[in-house]
Amino acid sequence: MLAVIVGLTALAAHQSLIRSREQARITTQNLSMLLEQYLIAIIDKADVSLQSVVLDAERQIRGRGFHAQALERLAEEHKAIAPELNSLRIADTAGTVWLGRGAPANATLNIADRDYFIRLRDDPAADLVVSGPLFGRSSSKWVIVLARRLNHPDGTLAGIAHASIPLERFERLFAGMQLGSFGAISMRTEGLNMVVSHPPLQTRQGVIGSNTASAEVRTAMDAQPLAGTYVATSLLDGIERINAYRKLSGYPFYITVGLATDDYLSGWRAEVQRLSVLAGLAIVLTLVSAWLVCRYWMRQSVAGAALVRESERRRMLLQSASDGVYVLDMQGRVLEVSDALCKMLGYTRSELLNMPLSRWEARYAAADIELMLSRLAAGAPRPVFESALQRCDGEVVEVELTAARIERDGGTELYVSARDITERKLAEQAMREAKEVTDAAVKARSAFVANMSHEIRTPLHVIIGLGQLLRRDVTLPGPRRKLDRLCDSSEHLLSLINDFLDLSKIEARRFVIDSADFRLGTVVDRVMHLFRDRAREKRLTLIAEIAPALHDLSLQGDPLRLTQVLINLCSNAIKFTDQGGVRLGIVCVAEDAMSCTLRFSVTDTGCGVALVDQAHMFEPFTQLDASTTRKYGGTGLGLTISQHLVSCMGGEIKVDSQPGVGCTCSFKVVLPRATATVPSTVVAPAMALTDSFQGSRVLLVEDHPQSQEMLLEMLEILGCSGDVASDGIEAIECVQARSYDLILMDMQMPRMDGLDATRAIRALPGGCEVPIIALTANAFIEDRQRCLAAGMNSHLGKPVTPAMLATVLGQWLPDFSVVSDTAPDCDNALSRAVLQIPGLKAGSSWLSSTEQIVAYCAQLARFISSSEQEITHLCARLQAGERDAAQALAHGLKGIAGLLGAQRVAALAAAMEDGLRNGAGESVIEHLANECRTELGGLNEALHLLPTP
């Protein structure tokens, strides 16, 4: 009997010990889980306030800059929402705090040395940064800091927004927990540095920020980094505890809850002592032993009541959670809910209890919910996912769900936290809308570049065309040289415009590499032909080193862009070389049946480039010598565009250079072989224009009067008979009235543009047979593709020269040859009288012959007559409030006056245009208009006094 009593006593003591330890483990786990959710809620609420300030600040940046009062109001609003915040501030890029609650009023606060500021400043991709414990410089409190980066629209740093939470907020939370006489709660960083502890520790090792973690906690966290339990003796107070720790989801902190062994085993030890006495006296005191056993079971009842109280405490913590929290059984029925969830869904607590989850889950079907519950029951990792919950009134709430499996009372339950993410979804929608606005701005910019291309190239087309026509009439060396300089400068201006348009297309990501069959030798011959005279003028040797087999090689790619790259490289080489020579080399470094890998190189013996400058050669608008006395000109765009072109072809331009020795620019590209052999094209010198198109009838569709006159003269030189239509409607009427051998069609015209006119002509009987050539100042490839899609046969880019026009006509009309032109100079009484007219500066091209002077005077008279009417229309538009229409009239008057050399009229028209653009008053514009009328009257009087030719 004694042995049985002792055995039963020992067994009871052992089972009680196991239950006590297991109960302590479960208690610490549940408490750590609840504290984790509560701490996450505090930090999340602070982050929501911080993100709201960031979004509002970045929206102000994209507008007209920071609005300090608006941001201050926003910070005060979030103070009411998140009273746990100690401060909510914005610092500039230098770290100086300038705005926000908590910012010092009469002192400068700088955070540039803080780790969170340095990390956000140096890492553009950084999101939320959470600091360890920091001692506040203005608040003199220990805090943790949440910080986010403010960005300009281009991604560069605009500032740092940061919020701080005082550690005393966490200390108050921990102090409300009942953990026995020697229980402890601590919050540590990921590196296990102390943040907050309860009860507060006064020893030196326990100060905030110190690392006092024991070996047991490090071993446990290495094995289970997210959550776990361990038993260890604290290094701070020497007390042994059973501890449960959890990693805060999404934040760099651990929460640890510990119950002292002396606390949770105190009842067990007293019981063991009593059982020991009972065992010693069992033989003589059986009744006493029986009484002690009864007392033991009574104490077990008390412990059960304590467990009930502990469960109630857990329920109170559940109700205080800011997120909607609910507990499910593994069949998906609700066991417990928080007040926040009841408020979120509009149900009462009694209505939600025992309700199946599928009743208010709006996104997942019942089968999907059952599958998720089974996976969690099998031990799947804790999921975090988005879903939608349906309120009792039918409204749907977007939420982020966090689910965790817990064990309680011998069963498995599911702990779920639902966070309302409606504001985040709205922010994401705002970001999507902002992106759409940005995309629209890019499209608008592309349209603006296309329009500017047309507006710039149209007057340049007139200038270059007239210059080419005048070359036929000017023969004297002096005027001829001036005319050549005019033409060269116009061509240079055209190349600059092309460079700027190419750069705009690159920045708008609208640059397209074409693919066509071409012969490599044709590209090389074109480049060598272009620079042969320039090299000869500088007494430089210019050679091309290419094997005959490569010269005749037919490839597939973009010959125009490849030629553009080689032209840019050779142009730079000749420009920076004063003696020696330039060599263009092409070698095949690899080939197979489908493609060839070619290495292109341009080597010169010029001034060379220092190593420190080579990294800047391909930056746009960069000149290695940017001084006002630099020897070499240029925009600094050629190499930038060339590098992008080569990159689009799959290569990269590399530079090998030494100062004073020379420079080699090279690149490698892989080009497919052509599907068929491309015949050779001979680059021939220019010949004299002939009238080989005699008898051909051409319809010119163009709305610009000066362009009409110039192109008609070119057609007459080529022997063509031409009719003029000022818009698409007139063009259709002309085609219906008679037949034409060819139509030159402008793109942009009033009433009906060239695309619609082409489609209408193609629909007429016989309209599909006549060649239609687009006259376009638009530089984008897609614009030219639109011409072809509308039914045009080809395109002719403005500015147009006689040689260009003859080349296109020769393609679509038979028997054509191209040449240069000359004309005699003229010096007589009429030319001298024209040169002496005040306010008029006629170019030498207008004075090349008596016939040209007479034609010029007639054109000037027509200009005076039409301009007086234009000024009258301009004033009428101004009085009607149509300032844009008046500005367009002033712009047209300025262009034609400048082209004819009427400088004073051009200056007055420019002043009217600027005034209309900048909001000048009507009296100012009318005064300028009267001045313009007076100047036109003076020109008209001077024309009537000219001598008879």
Angle 572-574-575 from CA coordinates, rounded to 5°: 60
Q: Residue 636 CB: number of other CB atoms within 10 A?
A: 18
Angle (deg, nearest 10), helices 754-762 and 781-789: 20
Q: Are 97 and 109 in contact (CB under 8 A)?
A: yes
CB proximity list for 509: less than 8 A, separation 6 or greater: none
Q: Where are the beta strands (DSSP E) in 362-468?
A: 384-390, 396-408, 411-420
Report CA-CA distances (Å) from 71 to 50, 58, 637, 651, 734. Answer: 11, 11, 42, 49, 66
Helix (H) or strand (E) holding 491: helix 477-507
What the block records as the tokens of 850 is 């008596």
Q: Which residues pair with 215 in a beta bridge?
A: none
pLDDT of residue 775: 85
In terms of Cβ atoms closer than 10 Å to its own Cβ (0-12, 13-18, 19+), residue 334 is: buried
pLDDT of residue 597: 94
Q: Where are the alpha helices (DSSP H) in 630-780?
A: 638-648, 705-717, 728-737, 754-762
What the block records as the tokens of 496 is 């600059």
Q: Which residues pair with 245 in a beta bridge?
A: 228, 256
Secondary structure of 708-742 in HEC code, one letter for each residue:
HHHHHHHHHHCCCEEEEECCHHHHHHHHHHCCCCE
| Letter string b/e over residues 761-796, b meaning 16 or more CB atoms within 10 A of that residue's CB | beeeeebeebbbbbbbbbbbeebbebbeebbbbebb
In terms of Cβ atoms closer than 10 Å to its own Cβ (0-12, 13-18, 19+), residue 222 is: exposed
CB proximity list for 753: less than 8 A, separation 6 or greater: 728, 747
DSSP for 837-886?
STTB---GGGGSSHHHHHHHHHHHHHHHHHHHHHHHHHHHHHHTT-HHHH
Q: What is the spatial distance between Cα 325 and Cα 318, in angstroms, rounded to a whole number?
A: 7
Question: pTM here?
Answer: 0.35
* Closest to 609 (Cα-Cα) out of 667, 666, 662, 665: 662
What are the φ and ψ backbone dihedral angles of 606, each rounded to 5 degrees?
-85, -155
Could you report how far apart the first and last alpha carbons of the chain are, in Å? 153
Q: Are 255 and 187 in contact (CB under 8 A)?
A: yes
Q: Are 569 and 666 in contact (CB under 8 A)?
A: no
What amino acid occupies position 609?
Answer: V
pLDDT of residue 192: 86
* Closest to 134 (Cα-Cα) out of 121, 122, 124, 147: 147
Block means of pLDDT (10 residues each) for the chain, 949 residues, are 70 78 86 88 86 85 74 73 80 86 66 92 90 87 92 89 89 83 88 85 61 84 90 83 90 91 78 74 68 73 63 60 79 83 85 84 81 75 79 87 76 82 83 78 61 63 67 64 67 62 56 79 87 85 88 88 88 89 93 92 89 71 46 60 85 88 92 80 43 82 83 84 93 93 89 93 89 76 78 80 79 55 58 82 67 78 85 90 86 73 83 85 88 89 81
pLDDT of residue 621: 53
Report CA-CA distances (Å) from 190 to 35, 73, 211, 226, 700. Answer: 17, 35, 11, 11, 79
Q: Are 465 and 459 in contact (CB under 8 A)?
A: no
| Letter string b/e over residues 853-866, b meaning 16 or more CB atoms within 10 A of that residue's CB | beebbebbeebbee
What the block records as the tokens of 510 is 């609208």
Report how many helices (DSSP H) and strands (DSSP E) the chain contains, helices first: 28, 28
What are the φ and ψ backbone dihedral angles of 74, each rounded to 5 degrees?
-60, -40
| Letter string b/e over residues 726-749, b meaning 16 or more CB atoms within 10 A of that residue's CB | bbbbbbbebbeeeebbbbbbbbbb
Q: For the segment 729-764, what is each residue's pLDDT rounded down to a tens digit?
A: 999 999 999 999 999 998 888 899 999 999 999 999
Prior bond to 799 cis, omega within 30? yes
Q: Which residues pair with 670 in a beta bridge?
A: 597
What amino acid occupies position 235?
Answer: L
pLDDT of residue 820: 37
pLDDT of residue 682: 43
Q: Look at strands 129-130 and 142-151 and give their pairing.
A: antiparallel
Report CA-CA distances (Å) from 896 to 451, 633, 866. Answer: 19, 30, 11
